[in-house]
């Protein structure tokens, strides 16, 4: 079994695959010199088999290699960091007053991911759908 961890940060995450089947995702949000890891999700059929750990290790290693600190925001990522003290050099906590900004960045990243998924699933428009819609002038209003 050879699980492949793909760097798909251009769409906001790392992804784990086995023979082309998506097993899990770890969301990656970069803000200045910090990486926020707000969410990790593994297919229920693969839970408990180390897929989440593979995703976490890749995210932490890439952050370290790029000189970034990591804010493990999701409970899984936070616990993974606690269990792997060799990565403590890149882990940081939320700074005072920073939580609203972190939440906004995470929300924005989630929104972009939802939009990207929707666009990927969108059906191409029919020619009729691209024709201009006639504009009917509004009735004059009394002044």
Domains of the chain: 4-111 (3.40.630.30)
Given a contact cutoff of 8 angstroms between Cβ atoms, the answer to whether 26 and 13 are in contact is yes
| Distance (Å) of CA 49 to CA 27, 53, 73, 81 | 19, 9, 22, 18
The three-class DSSP label of residue 6 is strand
Give the full edge-to-edge strand order of the sheet including 29-31. Answer: 29-31, 34-37, 69-72
* CA atoms of 35 and 6, how far apart (whole Å): 17
Percent with pLDDT over 90 in the chain = 59
* CA atoms of 17 and 24, how far apart (whole Å): 7
- Other C-beta atoms closer than 10 Å to the C-beta of 135 total 6
pLDDT by residue (tens digit) across 41-82? 999 999 999 999 999 999 999 999 999 999 999 999 999 999
User: What's the average model confidence in pLDDT over 10-16?
Assistant: 93
* CA atoms of 130 and 65, how far apart (whole Å): 47
Residue with tokens 């906001």: 12
pTM of the model: 0.75
Given a contact cutoff of 8 angstroms between Cβ atoms, the answer to whether 78 and 91 are in contact is no
pLDDT at 115: 78
Given a contact cutoff of 8 angstroms between Cβ atoms, the answer to whether 31 and 38 are in contact is no
């Amino acid at each position: 079994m050879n699980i492949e961890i793909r760097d798909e940060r251009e769409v906001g995450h790392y992804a784990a695959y086995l023979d082309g089947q998506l097993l899990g995702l770890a969301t990656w949000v970069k803000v200045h010199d910090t990486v926020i890891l707000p969410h990790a999700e593994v297919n229920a059929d693969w839970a408990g088999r180390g897929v989440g750990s593979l995703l976490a290790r890749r995210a932490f290693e890439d952050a370290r290699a790029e000189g970034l600190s990591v804010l493990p925001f999701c409970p899984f990522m936070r616990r993974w960091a606690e269990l792997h003290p060799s990565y403590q050099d890149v882990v940081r906590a939320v700074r005072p007053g920073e939580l609203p900004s972190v939440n906004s960045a995470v929300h924005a990243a989630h929104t972009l991911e939802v939009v990207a998924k929707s666009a990927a699933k969108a059906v191409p428009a029919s020619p009729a759908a691209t024709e201009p819609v006639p504009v009917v002038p509004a009735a004059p209003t009394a002044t």
